[in-house]
Structure 1
Amino acid sequence: MAPLRRNLLLVFVFVAAVAVSFEAAAAGKTGQVTVFWGRHKDEGSLREACDAGTYTTVIISFLDVYGHGRYHLDLSGHDLSTIGADIKHCQRKGVQVSLSVGGFGRGYSLPSKQAALDLFDHLWNSYLGGHKKGVPRPFGDAWLDGVDLFLEQGAPADRYDVLARELAKHNIWAGPGKLLHLTATVPCKFPPAGYMKRALDTGMFERIHMRAYGYGDDYCDWELAWDKWTAAYSGSLIYIGLPASMQVSGWVHPKNIYYGVAPVVQKAPNYGGFMLWDRYYHKQDNYRSYIISYA
């Protein structure tokens, strides 16, 4: 089969898979809860997070340096030697495990198409279904389920659209019998920054996590923003992102989640579930046992 025809077929398979997921998660409760893990050494192991019975997806964060010919994974002092076995344990329990790229630093960018292809090559051979001689695999032979874009900064020239399309082309090779899940975690404000908008407009993202919290210049009306995000990206499942503890600015009382947040977001036909920031704070919180029923 010609390369172009094969790539188009792979993208079609990806879009069809997203459509199936979307159809299965129409308006109403989904029970889907995503949490970020890796930002605090005292949050416990990845295995413990998956064993909590609360999360359907755990996102490891962050690959925080890329685009300059070097790569850096920051997991806040967690022992990397144990994570590969933990990933497999989570997957056996039906919990997806993804890797988030970006974060709160300034050590990343994708200033060209080649930079984006280089990042894809690194992700594919270090964390996903590829293997290349001389390329280390921090988690051994464990294959992650997906990639998340968490971009706090960027430039107009950044080519995350190229990265998204390249990941989508390879999604059916993510692992034995599984798809590669491409997600994005975005600030509340709409529209998104240009570099993120260009990526999202490819239509390749299965899920978008809208962070409904912030303060100062980051504050926005989450309900108005939610309507804009769900309408603009109707082909993606949209998750409502919430801080998992009163220690995080923007925390929402459990009662307000139950009576105020959940009924609003679950009206959207492409509501996907809840996203929580993060595992460390969620362990401190008193609504951990309720979150699945709320979602």
Structure 2
Amino acid sequence: MAALGGRRRASAAALLAVATLLVCLAGPAMAAGNKTGQVTVFWGRNKDEGTLREACDTGLYTMVIMSFLDVYGPNGKYHLDLSGHPIAGIGDDIKHCQFVGVPVSLSIGGFGSGYSLPSRQAALDIFDYLWNAFFGGSKPGVHRPFGDAWLDGVDLFLEHGTAADRYDVLALELAKHNIRGGPGKPLHLTATPRCGFPPAGYLKRALDTGIFERVHVRIYDDADCEAYWHLAWDKWTAAYPATRFYVGMTASEMTHGWVHPKNVYYDVAPSVQKADNYGGFMIWDRYSDKLSNYTSMVKGYA
């Protein structure tokens, strides 16, 4: 009997050890029960990243954001900077991406200093330009760089601004006109801020409209954010519960705030996926991703 009891205790101990091991192995994945598989990438920052079509055909991304329309404002001048990519053919690439189920948006702003929206009229003017240059409009004198291709959305990537900037007017105008990136496709209105919370007033005023579908919170390239991004993420997701939040990571190991894929699995993914309005990952950028295969390593955790 003693031998039988010993065998039972040993068997129970073995089962407990196996169960404990399984919990340890599956811990992050179990905590990350809110997976979406959504991965957005920024394209247009390096000519050597390959074409837009190639990016869409990797199967890695569920949205591509072209960057940037980096000059706009009250002077009526506009400039599209795609880092030397030939514009000819991009319209066909956009249509191809949409055909394979990858929407394509345009990000406005960027790292330069040539943009502002200091008045309601300036915001209405850029709406008019966007509508006629990249969406369904056709206005004499407004060049359509991508021909008859319709984009799927507009992203705000704002590195500077003032309290006078009226991005809220632009956002509301986009929503009011119900712009669609083609038949039956609703506009994807997104923003890509640094992770510090609260956001700068000019962006906060826009986000407070409550009409943004997605926000990509950048947790890289910001020394103040590195240690506190978890707290900032919780504040972002709580402040805008109707908006989907994507955690923005860099694919370049040389960029400050790069997260090792192992730490995406053990820390980033299970942390961000606790939020009910978690949306996915945002990767900066296609060129770095092509070199490092970062998305290939982390996509399964999204």
Could you state the TM-score of these two structures normalised by the residue count of structure 1? 0.89
Distance (whole Å) between structure 2 residues aligned to residue 124 and residue 89 of structure 1: 21
Distance (whole Å) between structure 1 residues aligned to residue 278 and residue 128 of structure 2: 32
Aligned residue among 149, 153, 158 for 2:165: 158
* Deviation (angstroms), 1:175: 2.0
- 8 Å Cα contact 2:223/2:256 also seen in 1: no
User: Does 2:199 correspond to 1:192?
Assistant: yes
Matches within 5 A, 1:123-272: 123-216=130-223, 221-272=228-279
* Deviation (angstroms), 1:129: 1.3
SS of residue paired to 1:55: coil
SS of residue paired to 1:258: helix
Distance 1:172 1:137, change over 3 A: closer
Distance 1:108 1:172, change over 3 A: closer
Distance (whole Å) between structure 2 residues aligned to residue 56 and residue 287 of structure 1: 15
SS of residue paired to 2:88: helix
Which stretch of structure 1 is more off in the superposition, 241-250 or 109-118?
241-250
- Amino acid in structure 2 at the alignment position of 1:241: G
1:288 alignment partner in structure 2: 295
- 8 Å Cα contact 1:171/1:181 also seen in 2: no
1:92 alignment partner in structure 2: 99
1:47 alignment partner in structure 2: 53
Aligned residue among 105, 108, 125 for 1:101: 108
SS of residue paired to 1:255: helix
* Deviation (angstroms), 1:286: 4.0
List runs of 5+ in structure 1 lacking aligned partners. 1-25
* Deviation (angstroms), 1:131: 1.2
Distance (whole Å) between structure 1 residues aligned to residue 224 and residue 169 of structure 2: 30
Distance (whole Å) between structure 2 residues aligned to residue 46 and residue 255 of structure 1: 29
2:25 alignment partner in structure 1: none
Deviations 1:125-175, CA, capped at 9 Å, x for gaps: 000111112211000000000000000000110000000000011225442
Identity %: 71
Distance (whole Å) between structure 2 residues aligned to residue 79 and residue 121 of structure 1: 25
Distance (whole Å) between structure 1 residues aligned to residue 43 and residue 181 of structure 2: 21
Aligned residue among 113, 127, 130 for 1:120: 127
SS of residue paired to 2:192: strand
- Amino acid in structure 2 at the alignment position of 1:88: K
Distance 1:171 1:290, change over 3 A: farther
Distance (whole Å) between structure 1 residues aligned to residue 128 and residue 293 of structure 2: 42
2:14 alignment partner in structure 1: none
Q: How many residues are matched?
A: 270
Distance (whole Å) between structure 2 residues aligned to residue 96 and residue 231 of structure 1: 27
Distance (whole Å) between structure 2 residues aligned to residue 286 and residue 225 of structure 1: 28
Distance (whole Å) between structure 1 residues aligned to residue 223 and residue 280 of structure 2: 26
- Amino acid in structure 2 at the alignment position of 1:228: K
1:34 alignment partner in structure 2: 40
2:65 alignment partner in structure 1: 59
1:14 alignment partner in structure 2: none
Distance (whole Å) between structure 1 residues aligned to residue 101 and residue 134 of structure 2: 19
Distance (whole Å) between structure 1 residues aligned to residue 263 and residue 76 of structure 2: 46
Distance (whole Å) between structure 1 residues aligned to residue 137 and residue 227 of structure 2: 40
- 8 Å Cα contact 1:184/1:207 also seen in 2: yes
Distance (whole Å) between structure 2 residues aligned to residue 139 and residue 155 of structure 1: 31
- 8 Å Cα contact 2:42/2:67 also seen in 1: yes
* Deviation (angstroms), 1:193: 0.3
Deviations 1:187-233, CA, capped at 9 Å, x for gaps: 01000000000000001100000001124456561101000000001
